[in-house]
Amino acid sequence: MNMKNFKLTAFVNLYGLLKIPLVLFVNPRVIESTAQRFVLKIPLNYRTKNHLNSMYFGALGIGAELSIAAAAVVAISESKQKIDFIFKDFSGQYIKRADGDVHFICDEIEAVRGLIEESKTNPARLERKMKGYAVVPKSNPTEPVMTYELTLSVRNRSIKS
């Protein structure tokens, strides 16, 4: 793990500790973070697996959300403005069993950053649907076990409407 990913992992875990403790419970790790792509790993262990020894769908939901939310939180912190975000809806298609550590991949990070950038000058609530997918690299690093869509909704509180 390079230093940038280590710092992002610490940031995600600190944010989880302070804001959403359940995030910390699944022990997320940042694998890759670029201007276009964000990859987050959630290990399959006693905290995240179900009675069939595959990843519990609640843990899959946390990973899907974090693959987009972590990029949004970083962009918001860099903006130095009071921007709130929330996910308006969630849609997930579970394609096959996630029987190993799962990597959650969002290739729409430019759109996430663009939405945060747009909110810097717009006091209205802005929304954009983001897509991602999850793979189990141990089994097949290219075959998705899950695809998901979340609508990211942001609003700049530092601008009065």
> What pLDDT, in 10s, does the model give residues 21-43?
888 899 999 999 999 999 999 99
Q: How many CB atoms are located within 10 Å of the residue 87 CB?
A: 16
Q: How many domains does the chain have?
A: 1
Tens of pLDDT, residue by residue over 95-139, are 999 999 999 999 999 999 999 999 999 999 999 999 999 999 999
Q: Is 16 exposed, middle or buried (0-12, 13-18, 19+ CB in 10 A)?
A: buried
Nearest CA among 2, 98, 16, 3 for reference residue 50: 98
The CATH number covering residue 114 comes to: 3.10.129.10
Q: Is residue 161 part of a domain?
A: no
CA–CA separation, 152 and 158 (whole Å) = 19
Residue-range definition of the domain harbouring residue 103: 3-156
In this prediction the pTM is 0.91
